[in-house]
Each structure stands twice: as C-alpha cells, then as structure tokens.
Amino acid sequence: MRIVNTLCTLALICAPFVFKAQDKTGSTKDQMIKEFVAKNYEFMDGLSEDGTYYLTRNATFGKLIYYFVNDLCVSTAIIPNDEETLDKFVAEYNSKYTLDGENTWSIKAKSGTNSASRVSVVWEENGGFFILFYKEE
C-alpha cells in the first residue's frame, strides 16, 4: 500500500511536466533535437509516407510524434497507452484549455507567437485513438 501511495504522489507531481511538454507547435527541429539530447530521451526521426519529416519518442504514458514542415513543428500526435491514460489527458485539457466542442480544445497563443493551437482527440474506425495538437490557421 505504501508503494501505491508513493507512486500516486509521484504521478501527481510529474503530471504538470508531462502535459506541459506536449505542445511543441512552433518549435524548430533543431530546438527539439537539442531538448531530447539534453534530457537523454531516446528518439527516432524519419519521413512519413507523404514525405513529412517527423521525430518520435516513447514516454511512460505512450508515444509522441512531432511533425515538421520547413523545420517547424506543425503538429504533435500523442498515442496514449490505454483509455485510462487518455481520460487523464482529457481531464487535464478540460482544466487548462477552452473546450470548443466534443473532444476539441483551443489553446491561447504562446508569448511571442501570433497564432493559437488546438488539441483534439481523434477516434479511428478500428477503435484506436490519439491526441493531436496543431496550429490554428
């Protein structure tokens, strides 16, 4: 029981850092690689089927994929490990962002930028799901 309480406490302490690290829209490829290297994250890069450059890394809560156009991160996909983890993300988004519709939130523009971001939960026909952060046009 003591271990469970300790793990729960650690999760509550770490959660703000996990959620803050998600929205990287507007960051450059080089900034992200330097951050990954500085934090000793293991990551991979490559090109998607349509030729879009991406960086990906695994995290305790799932997988993150950052997509780039002209060396700027234009979207982030988060694939949570399970629905329980997804529910935790949704609860966090409900408390931090403005709900715009079912499973879609708007995020105020970051300092020094001129466009806001959005985040949506996307449900696939096969029952899968992922979270998508993207710039608002």
Which pLDDT does position 39 carry in this prediction? 93
Edge to edge, what strands does the sheet with 53-59 contain? Answer: 43-47, 53-59, 62-69, 72-80, 129-135, 117-123, 104-107, 98-101
Residue 12 lies in a domain: no
Write out the residue range of the structural domain in which residue 62 sits.
20-135
Q: How many domains does the chain have?
A: 1
Residue 1 lies in a domain: no
Residue 40 lies in a domain: yes
Residue 104 lies in a domain: yes
Residue 2 lies in a domain: no
Which carries the bigger pLDDT value, residue 49 or residue 135?
49
Residue 29 lies in a domain: yes
Residue 92 lies in a domain: yes
Residue 5 lies in a domain: no
Contact 42, 126 (CB under 8 A): no
Residue with tokens 């002209």: 70
Q: Is the pLDDT of residue 19 over 60?
A: no
Rounded to an integer, the average pLDDT of 43-69 is 95
pLDDT in tens, 24-49: 888 899 999 999 999 999 999 999 99
pTM check: above 0.75: yes
pLDDT in tens, 92-130: 999 999 999 889 998 887 666 556 688 999 999 999 999
Helices 2-20 and 83-96 pack at an angle, to 10 degrees, of 60
